[in-house]
Structure 1
Amino acid sequence: MSAPTTPLPGALAGLAPLLDHYGYLAVALLVLLDNCGIPVPGQTVLVLAAVYAGTGHLDLAAVLLIGAAAATLGNMLGYLIGHTGGRALVHRWGRYVLLTPARMERADGFFARQGGKVVTVARFVDGLRQYNGIIAGTTEMPWRRFAVFNLLGAVLWTAVWGTFGYVAGANIGAVYRTALRYQLWFAIGLGVLVAVFLLRQVLRYRRRRREDADAGTGTLEPEDPTQEPEGPEGTERPGSG
């Protein structure tokens, strides 16, 4: 296999020899490792493989299928790592990184409510892509629920970046430069969205705590001073009638 004749920009050029020699195997291995907590360029090699497909050097369907399968399996391995050892590590070392039992309990509650959304979109965010499976396992997100959203996220992530690389094809250099030009604005926009989401969750959490506190207080309604007290059941108050 040979690389596209158009010069490849940035990190894509560095990965081209690896893809030239190992083809689909390189895609499978790097995407799998990238999705189970090991910081390797899995997303970059996926884009590059799609560029190869766009120039006729690889089959797009095979790239997408292998990428989705590797991403799903990688996140499942991350989940198993978190499920089997993550909780013990948190209990032993969490206090050194300010991860107290109370905060861990809140994380459990958050993943119970929002874990599906997090697992689905996490692959599009560097850092979360590598560790969301481990976090889901550590917070004991139900396996079946995790599996469904993990597969959904893998398919969406592979489809988006695979389509991007395939459509770019021989024009990847111009597309890459344009992406670099606007990546700062994209990062700012993404940061704002994440901040709004987190603020919304904090406000909802505080509101629920206030409601729970009010319910636990058991505030009694004041008695109506104009209402006369009743006598024993079945009798009238003395002097009435």
Structure 2
Amino acid sequence: MDQFGYLVLGAALMLELLALPLPGEVLMTYTGLLVFQQKLNWALSILTAGTGASIGMTVSYGIGYKLGIPFFEKYGSRIHLGPDRLAATSRWFERYGNKVIIIAYFIPGIRHFTGYFSGITRLRVRTYRLYAYTGAFIWTGTFISLGKIVGPEWEQFHHSITKYLLLAGILAALLLMAFYLFRKYKIKLNDRIVYWLSKAVKKFSSLGPARFLITASFGLFLALFMLMVGLVQDFLANEFGDFDLVTSYVIHSQFDGNWKPWMNRFADLASSPVLLALTVLSLLWVLYKGRDRMLEGSFLLFVYIGGELWEERLRLYFHRMGPENIANTFPSEQTLITIVIFGFAAYLLIRHTGVAWVRTVSIIVVLACSFLVGLSHVYFNLQYPSDALAGYVFGGVWLSMNVLLLELFRIMNS
């Protein structure tokens, strides 16, 4: 790399995408280190790496396209991928494979065969090129940029960065698969959940739009609850060290002192005046639009007060010392309560409006504000990144549980 940087980079990534066992992520993050040392150019490195990866994906697609179908028609049944299954897989890949291609780059063992399988299943060439080439430059740009960010700490951090990006890629793939299964079986899923809950709530079978809210909140609650259990296990096993070290370093290396005024504004999003004002506005919205005003108003107060008690008891239970010897920072009080208050306000807005863009903007605002609050507290060394992450998860559990309970109470009172 030191002698033939661009040539080695492009050739190695091309060969890796042909399924050769080459350490692509390590090579790209090391390239980022060379960029930091001004031995290589950042833009040219990404262009070279992305081009090499794109060539590898093109060649693997061509091999799969030319040789794949006869092989699977003859031998596919031996590995449970006969003509019928291959045809079904081809239809699925035609519909959803383009999204898988981008995510697959971040998952070793998957990206090496994505091109071959895209050719085997006859994914349209134009569609394949669009997503394969886009994913190639996203993948290479991400790792080279991260290598440039960590700079002199490359040897210490690149293994951790690779691990967390791998986990993020796997999580994204699982979410995509869950979305696909939900889209495919949503009618059956809704009916099944209706059947289960109707045993306890007889009127549930007559529901209309509320079915989706109950299904979504129940699924979100289960997912976040399992994630919460995992976080508690990691906390007890002291597994957050690498995550906190890497994330804190990246944040402080990218946001210097000039960001302080902005970070103060971001932190103010979790201040008591802002949260109280949002609660009052939500209550006024309930009085104006709500059909079950007493029920929704009571839940609004319960969510706010209960959220405060929930985070206080959690922090006292875990009793973690944060940066600068600040006591009881796990989970983050600010990110937890921001998710709860902003999230419930968005739920009430979404529940009583039929405008699609308002719903979308509401969700984006909640996620953005919550992220900025967590970012600001890590920036000021008030909390560890794992504190902020735990706040999101614990707050999400409390929020989704209350949305589910509110919808069930709404049914029983109807």
Please say whether Structure 1 and Structure 2 have the same fold, judged by a TM-score greater than 0.5.
Answer: yes
Which residue number corresponds to residue 197 of structure 1? Answer: 176
Which residue number corresponds to residue 130 of structure 2? Answer: 148
1:63-113 alpha-carbon deviations (Å, 9 max, x no partner): 111001111111000110110001111112212222122221121111111
How far off its partner does 1:28 sit? 1.1
Counterpart of 1:194, as a letter, is A
Separation in 1, partners of 2:166, 2:129: 28
Counterpart selection for 1:61 from 30, 39, 43? 43
The answer as to whether partners of 1:37 and 1:134 remain within 8 angstroms in 2 is: no
How far off its partner does 1:206 sit? 5.3
The answer as to whether partners of 2:29 and 2:158 remain within 8 angstroms in 1 is: no
Counterpart of 1:174, as a letter, is Q
Q: Tell me: CA distance 1:164–1:144, structure 2 relative to 1, closer, same or farther (3 Å).
A: same
The answer as to whether partners of 1:124 and 1:157 remain within 8 angstroms in 2 is: yes
Separation in 2, partners of 1:156, 1:32: 15
Which residue number corresponds to residue 71 of structure 1? Answer: 53
Counterpart selection for 2:18 from 15, 29, 36? 36
Separation in 1, partners of 2:45, 2:167: 31
Which region of structure 1 is more displaced relative to structure 2, 76-85 or 105-114?
A: 105-114
Q: Tell me: CA distance 1:171–1:36, structure 2 relative to 1, closer, same or farther (3 Å).
A: same
Which residue number corresponds to residue 212 of structure 1? Answer: none
Separation in 1, partners of 2:93, 2:37: 42
How far off its partner does 1:122 sit? 1.4
Counterpart of 1:201, as a letter, is Y
SS in 1 for 2:46: helix
| TM-score normalised according to structure 2 size | 0.42
Which region of structure 1 is more displaced relative to structure 2, 196-205 or 164-173?
A: 196-205
Q: In the alignment, does 2:103 pair up with 1:124?
A: no
The answer as to whether partners of 1:94 and 1:100 remain within 8 angstroms in 2 is: yes
Q: Tell me: CA distance 1:71–1:99, structure 2 relative to 1, closer, same or farther (3 Å).
A: same
How far off its partner does 1:149 sit? 1.0
Q: In the alignment, does 2:92 pair up with 1:113?
A: no
Which residue number corresponds to residue 8 of structure 1? Answer: none
Counterpart of 1:161, as a letter, is F
Counterpart selection for 1:176 from 146, 149, 158? 158
Which residue number corresponds to residue 76 of structure 2? Answer: 94
| TM-score normalised according to structure 1 size | 0.70
Separation in 2, partners of 1:190, 1:155: 16
SS in 2 for 1:40: coil
Deviation beyond 6 Å, 4+ runs, structure 1: none
Which residue number corresponds to residue 12 of structure 1? Answer: none
Structure richer in helix, relative to its length: 2
Q: How many residues align?
A: 188
Q: Tell me: CA distance 1:162–1:198, structure 2 relative to 1, closer, same or farther (3 Å).
A: same
Q: Tell me: CA distance 1:25–1:166, structure 2 relative to 1, closer, same or farther (3 Å).
A: same
Which residue number corresponds to residue 5 of structure 2? Answer: 23
The answer as to whether partners of 1:31 and 1:46 remain within 8 angstroms in 2 is: no
1:155-192 alpha-carbon deviations (Å, 9 max, x no partner): 11111111001111111133236447xx3x76666545
Q: Tell me: CA distance 1:178–1:196, structure 2 relative to 1, closer, same or farther (3 Å).
A: closer
How far off its partner does 1:50 sit? 1.5
Of all paired residues, the percent bearing the same amino acid is: 22
The answer as to whether partners of 1:36 and 1:76 remain within 8 angstroms in 2 is: no
Separation in 1, partners of 2:18, 2:165: 25
How far off its partner does 1:43 sit? 2.7
1:32-69 alpha-carbon deviations (Å, 9 max, x no partner): 01112222222321221111111122222221110011
CA RMSD of aligned residues (A): 2.4
Counterpart selection for 2:140 from 135, 148, 158? 158
5+ residue gaps, structure 1 = 1-18, 210-241
SS in 2 for 1:124: coil
Separation in 2, partners of 1:64, 1:39: 21
SS in 1 for 2:108: coil
Counterpart of 1:134, as a letter, is Y
Separation in 2, partners of 1:63, 1:186: 20
Which residue number corresponds to residue 229 of structure 1? Answer: none
